[in-house]
Structure 1
């Protein structure tokens, strides 16, 4: 009988070991009276996919399942608020409440690398919150010296954080986590900066899913760099007619991304009016691309600013996204073949360039 029990124990242990190697287990012990539904979402080559749901009771929860290789995963509340980010493999993970937020313990090497990057991000978030609180108090007291000191303090924190992140990217240049970190921030980078950072990644990171996402982003960015043929776009005008970039024929085209609610855009409009009046008959055409979501505001602004040139609305910002417009006003100068000649010129610099290109001495 003892031998049978011993054999059964061995079989049970083998089954448990096999499960531990074959699937993942995520345990949360956050404490307190936290509760509610949680979802586990994976983000792989096929996009977002649900990996499971559970209910947290008094801060405790558990997910189990299986993934094919490592996958980026997020634990979210039912309202889609982030709880934790995982480099999920078929391993065990423990989530606990730490001094600076939720800490992820366990997992593999990739999770440990991610934790180091996350520590940098948590420091930035913590310092940002403290500085904002102090700046509100200083602003209420009209203490300009204190405001300036706080801005310098936060700038120093951001510089140190950037240096630390660069150090981590160099240390873990082969890790797919480094590619993930770069991919997460590439929307705020220009083409040259992103290409430089990507080139410094190791081949395993560049060949990872996140590395390939960067490759795709770089290709899209290159399409709107100076020297490239601008991608065509279409949009609705005030009279509901459709206008396309390629359908507009001119020696020189100025594409101007703006919005009625954008103060710098409105301040620049007199300059745009000036160049339009001066150079329209010499071959200049302007295509305004408004990011307004309220059509009436867009229409009224065109009347107030005396815009006589072509204008379309990009309420869903699909065109702006394709052109990597991160702030407005944002301008592009195109030649008659829609080749991008210059970007983000304004005021006298814009007028000087237009005069040069149209041969107006």
Structure 2
């Protein structure tokens, strides 16, 4: 009798274990217009699809396992919903932009998401009340500091889990390199080993070694044109404005007329321009160069080599190097870039 009870108990335990060893996502939609389409589950940190499921009768069921929890989004059509993917039962209402769960991680992400949403709503309301010429100052003086405090507060509460990873990524948009390094060093080992947080940490260290006032750090790229190095152009006795860009990058192309204007005004006075094409297909880069008729030299197919060295997380990123190769200014754009060039060329 005892043996039978032991066997039954063991079988029950196995069944319970097998039911709780993975995740089960049950989702619903308001109507059936999306029946037959796939719901994609996207990891927000890596931007990679981790699972998918078919919508039938305005609902879907997705089962699987995940090694580590992750902040994800369920996407179908023009609908999306954020949630924490973990080995648990997860209910998603695709009419909501966020679905909370009763797990500790779910509650932590709910707190972060709610705070972000409240800040966005108050920001949009305030911007609607301001004149256009007042909006930029409000954003820089009020919104960015508040966003930075919010991200750091939730990072400090989640120093060793996926919510902390998400908060650190948010924090990286507002914090300076030393603050990001300090935040990383306070993390638990699990979060320190996370590829995304480690990438931000390494880029932050790179930004410190390539900050304004530091000497340039050389890099070499081998492409169809041969071997090209930054030192072929920088540190040769002239100011050099280096534009890290890509053919698909809209904001990069918006800066092109500004750079053309600077080239035409200052090139004969001692300013060189260098384009460095990153994260792009070389044939697309070459086509765009010819289309725009860019007259300055280009280092093509550089990919991640220079952006890793200089800690560049987004493009365009424009750096001004002095005649001796010293980094004069970073992340120059628009009118601020024109003013900086006018300042140094006027002082030369």
TM value normalised by structure 1:
0.65
- Asked which structure has the greater RCO (Cα within 8 Å, sep 6+), the reply is 2
1-structure distance, mates of 2:43, 2:338: 47
Q: For the structure 1 residues 43 and 83, does the alpha-carbon distance in structure 2 shift closer, same or farther, using more than 3 Å as the test? A: closer
2-structure distance, mates of 1:37, 1:298: 39
2:101 aligns to what SS in structure 1?
Answer: strand
Shift of 1:39: 3.9
2-structure distance, mates of 1:96, 1:32: 12
* Aligned positions of 1:124-273 closer than 5 A: 162-183=148-169, 186=172, 190-198=176-184, 201-204=186-189, 206-209=191-194, 210-222=196-208, 224-226=210-212, 227-234=214-221, 243-248=228-233, 250-257=236-243, 262=253, 265-267=256-258, 269-273=260-264
2-structure distance, mates of 1:80, 1:228: 48
1-structure distance, mates of 2:302, 2:116: 30
2-structure distance, mates of 1:162, 1:117: 13
Q: For the structure 1 residues 8 and 62, does the alpha-carbon distance in structure 2 shift closer, same or farther, using more than 3 Å as the test? A: farther
Shift of 1:207: 2.2
1-structure distance, mates of 2:147, 2:118: 8
Please say if 1:116 is aligned against 2:104: no
1:103 aligns to what SS in structure 2?
Answer: coil
Shift of 1:17: 1.4
Q: Deviations over 1:92-126 (max 9, x none)?
A: 2222357x53413234x223212222223344566
Shift of 1:254: 0.5
2:82 is aligned to 84
Select the residue among 333, 345, 350 that pairs with 2:341.
350
2-structure distance, mates of 1:317, 1:276: 27
1-structure distance, mates of 2:236, 2:151: 46
1:112 aligns to what SS in structure 2?
Answer: helix
**Is the Cα contact below 8 Å between 1:87 and 1:114 reproduced in 2?**
no
1-structure distance, mates of 2:150, 2:173: 20
**Is the Cα contact below 8 Å between 1:20 and 1:92 reproduced in 2?**
no
| Corresponding pairs, count | 327
Select the residue among 268, 277, 282 that pairs with 2:268.
277
Q: Deviations over 1:307-334 (max 9, x none)?
A: 5xx4227589767855527465723205
Q: Deviations over 1:192-226 (max 9, x none)?
A: 45335445x43346524143233233244345433
1-structure distance, mates of 2:345, 2:131: 44
1:60 is aligned to 59
Q: For the structure 1 residues 319 and 84, does the alpha-carbon distance in structure 2 shift closer, same or farther, using more than 3 Å as the test? A: same
Q: For the structure 1 residues 24 and 149, does the alpha-carbon distance in structure 2 shift closer, same or farther, using more than 3 Å as the test? A: same
Q: For the structure 1 residues 55 and 119, does the alpha-carbon distance in structure 2 shift closer, same or farther, using more than 3 Å as the test? A: same
1:18 is aligned to 17
2-structure distance, mates of 1:245, 1:17: 60
Shift of 1:80: 10
1:106 is aligned to 102
Select the residue among 320, 330, 337 that pairs with 2:318.
330
Q: Deviations over 1:148-176 (max 9, x none)?
A: 78889988677655544333233334544
**Is the Cα contact below 8 Å between 2:161 and 2:191 reproduced in 1?**
no
1-structure distance, mates of 2:31, 2:82: 17
Shift of 1:277: 1.6
Q: Deviations over 1:11-46 (max 9, x none)?
A: 6643331223422222224454353322445689xx
**Is the Cα contact below 8 Å between 1:232 and 1:244 reproduced in 2?**
yes
Q: Which runs of 5+ in 2 are unaligned?
A: none
